[in-house]
Structure 1
């Protein structure tokens, strides 16, 4: 088992001491449009970590190392908003970030100023210490569209060339268009993998539209389709669940289908959402009301994960020939069996599948136990494989 650490590079929260600094407020929905001229205010931009007494680093963070803040005190009164910190780089945000909302450098807290070479060096020192101390096998980087791509490329290159070229690096670059993720990956010289956000939205749309969704298009415009070697596929995450920032919750009936695709496709590197495996309950506020949410575990998910371990081998053959019923076959290899995944988003369905003469008169059963019968293929290895309505079956040789 490999262990990946989840790292937030974009911002710091909970400063130790205030500083008097110059800031300029910008509009929330257009960060390049200012509201008024720069003014002096107090902000919690000093991070001294006094309790550590310099044990790990003698670097003390102050306003020179941040580009923005969301809470200040002006004339003794607290003011909330988005404030550009006036530093040696002027009044502009870092340009090498997402252009969403004009410029998406700022996300929350004290936004780190990656144009400052002292910051870049400190982050190199920190990651070297962190990786050597924890012995993790890789990292997941949060909120990359808010961080300087120039810094990221330099920093990731440093990890790969100066620390360990085998470290796995995965980034959350939240874009719905695979082309933009592809462009970002190219900017990083393909040193980083990215979450397949477009595929998640395909799953979300398919779950919403039901039998009106054309399953033949389920992989269209996904990062898995365009750059499979650099993609991580997922169904749901902490941001897409109900009441969260990027709410786009895949409906329960479709989750087994979605997981069968990412767990059993040849080129997918899947990420399973903890609440989908174990369930979860939580509360949050919406329109002034407290809402209680339950995420029920996907009952077939453990079996699908087991199916990946036992049968997710060999080349893949797709049967994407019907808008409401698709299938794909994993051919297996010399040591491991393959499987046939058949999916319906409408009523009960079936497909005639040719396994080949080496499977002559073989008996197949549904590993997920959605279908109880066994299927015997003919002398040529051909048989008719079935799936229940709005369901998935994984047929394997007995």
Structure 2
């Protein structure tokens, strides 16, 4: 069975010409051939900014590019028919579709409503003014373009806990809606950043409203009947009460399938915080390894000044590996985005070797690292900036190595500040590999492969080094690597 390997099939600046869903079919065969087993797709439904929406400004969960709403019928990625065809093509090539879901907030309301709100200190969300004021807020969603097809649910001020814009008086900030839910307080079981991180943006969904709770469960069931669903990526988990996802994921597993793959974006580096969250959701899902991503970023910036012995310090994969999705970059960390902490291209081969070829964690590969990306955006100071993200030349080979050679038990050699590596011993029927990398000068590691591999000839599967390494009578050998590089040594007979 292929080792689970996710591919994030988009980035923030993916083409806005409606071609992405078509691209699923065009690239499915190649991706399957290099070992991709799951494709993480962007939000498939209509966002508030219509054809320009990346998908995180949720407007209508039931519009999969089917209705004339927000200035277009199709989404940025294509229309509903193309989505269905693309997901079908993935499945035909053995790739499971993993869908991005944004439930925390809604944007682009169809109507304003009279509301009662209390001002909130944006730097301490637990500090809510006692005085209430009357205002207008964008909180009523009727979806006139869909006209009740699939769901007649109307979202109104009772469905939300907060907003960031009011009118009459016109103010921006954070405002707690006064309604029958929560007695004027935010949800609990959310992250404690800024005191309470329930509120993020737009019209913040009130999960304590039972009608909302049931509508979101209904949507999950409905969605799985429209397109193939093998799993979900849950956006903004730190802003959504853990009890809701505990219930929602359990319900999806009961109704869609017990083997549903679910990973939540709880963007926090602290292992205690993530461990507590996993307990609250009954460990029904996986989390992205934020700390490991930041270690990669720091290592790529520091070069030879970074101590590679510490590369896994504080990481989720080193503490709770069965619940860790490891990544190098994603759409939020890429240049010019909100969580920008890009891993420098020179270090990405090392980082990918560390997530693809080890036993621990479920790795996720980012679209621009396999296919490249070029785009521009306006910086905070108003300048137009061009960005080019290069193809990581050995990434396809590393993906192939994961499926062919990342087998058997693992022995780590993480005791040098600059040259580290590990051995995958292989099994009776599957070959292993020796991985060696350096963030400084060229180096080498001595490995004991055991007498079963005595007099065995090894070559660098990545082609970074052209020579051969032969083990001695006892299975010992010294495996080299180039400066600032990685080599994956495999038995010559298997290449």
TM-score, length-normalised on structure 2? Answer: 0.78
Q: Is the Cα contact below 8 Å between 2:438 and 2:486 reproduced in 1?
A: yes
Task: State the partner residue of 2:375.
Answer: 282
Displacement of 1:162:
4.1
Task: State the partner residue of 1:135.
Answer: 228
Task: State the partner residue of 2:394.
Answer: 300
- 1:71 maps onto 2:162 in alignment: no
Q: Is the Cα contact below 8 Å between 1:243 and 1:286 reproduced in 2?
A: no
Q: Following the alignment from structure 1 to structure 2, what is the Cα–Cα distance between the partners of residues 229 and 235?
A: 18
Q: Is the Cα contact below 8 Å between 1:342 and 1:386 reproduced in 2?
A: yes
Secondary structure of the structure 2 residue equivalent to 1:181: helix
Secondary structure of the structure 2 residue equivalent to 1:3: strand
CA 1:291 to 1:33, structure 2 compared with 1: closer, same or farther past 3 Å? Answer: farther
Equivalent position to 2:111, from 17, 38, 49? 17
Task: State the partner residue of 2:136.
Answer: 42
Equivalent position to 2:177, from 85, 93, 96? 85
Q: Is the Cα contact below 8 Å between 2:323 and 2:361 reproduced in 1?
A: no
Q: Is the Cα contact below 8 Å between 1:178 and 1:222 reproduced in 2?
A: yes
- 1:224 maps onto 2:317 in alignment: yes
- 1:374 maps onto 2:445 in alignment: no
Q: Is the Cα contact below 8 Å between 1:313 and 1:338 reproduced in 2?
A: yes
Q: Following the alignment from structure 1 to structure 2, what is the Cα–Cα distance between the partners of residues 345 and 236?
A: 19
Q: Following the alignment from structure 1 to structure 2, what is the Cα–Cα distance between the partners of residues 29 and 295?
A: 35
Displacement of 1:213:
1.8
Q: Following the alignment from structure 2 to structure 1, what is the Cα–Cα distance between the partners of residues 143 and 121?
A: 32
Displacement of 1:35:
6.1
Q: Following the alignment from structure 1 to structure 2, what is the Cα–Cα distance between the partners of residues 104 and 256?
A: 35
Task: State the partner residue of 1:102.
Answer: 195
Q: How many residues are matched?
A: 396
Q: Following the alignment from structure 1 to structure 2, what is the Cα–Cα distance between the partners of residues 60 and 179?
A: 39
Matches within 5 A, 1:140-289: 140-284=233-377, 285-289=379-383
Secondary structure of the structure 1 residue equivalent to 2:346: helix
Q: Following the alignment from structure 1 to structure 2, what is the Cα–Cα distance between the partners of residues 56 and 66?
A: 22
Task: State the partner residue of 2:83.
Answer: none
**41-50 or 254-263, larger mean C-alpha shift:** 41-50
1:136-182 CA-to-partner distances (Å, cap 9, x unmatched) read 11111001000011211121222223442211111001111122111
- 1:291 maps onto 2:402 in alignment: no
Unpaired segments ≥5 residues, structure 1:
none
Secondary structure of the structure 2 residue equivalent to 1:252: coil
Q: Is the Cα contact below 8 Å between 1:259 and 1:301 reproduced in 2?
A: yes
Task: State the partner residue of 1:337.
Answer: 431
Displacement of 1:217:
1.5
Q: Following the alignment from structure 2 to structure 1, what is the Cα–Cα distance between the partners of residues 334 and 123?
A: 23
Displacement of 1:382:
1.3
1:294-331 CA-to-partner distances (Å, cap 9, x unmatched) read 21121111111111121111111111121111110111
Q: Is the Cα contact below 8 Å between 1:324 and 1:344 reproduced in 2?
A: yes
Q: Is the Cα contact below 8 Å between 1:18 and 1:42 reproduced in 2?
A: yes
Q: Following the alignment from structure 1 to structure 2, what is the Cα–Cα distance between the partners of residues 382 and 191?
A: 43
Secondary structure of the structure 1 residue equivalent to 2:138: strand
- 1:347 maps onto 2:441 in alignment: yes
1:66-115 CA-to-partner distances (Å, cap 9, x unmatched) read 0111222124xx43222211111232211221110111111111110011
Unpaired segments ≥5 residues, structure 2:
1-94
Q: Is the Cα contact below 8 Å between 1:319 and 1:328 reproduced in 2?
A: yes
**184-193 or 66-75, larger mean C-alpha shift:** 66-75
Q: Is the Cα contact below 8 Å between 1:29 and 1:101 reproduced in 2?
A: yes
Secondary structure of the structure 1 residue equivalent to 2:464: coil
Displacement of 1:335:
2.9
1:241-297 CA-to-partner distances (Å, cap 9, x unmatched) read 222211211122111100000010112210001111111122222222222222112
Displacement of 1:28:
2.2
Secondary structure of the structure 1 residue equivalent to 2:430: coil
Q: Following the alignment from structure 1 to structure 2, what is the Cα–Cα distance between the partners of residues 6 and 326?
A: 35
CA 1:295 to 1:36, structure 2 compared with 1: closer, same or farther past 3 Å? Answer: farther
Task: State the partner residue of 1:117.
Answer: 210
Displacement of 1:133:
2.2
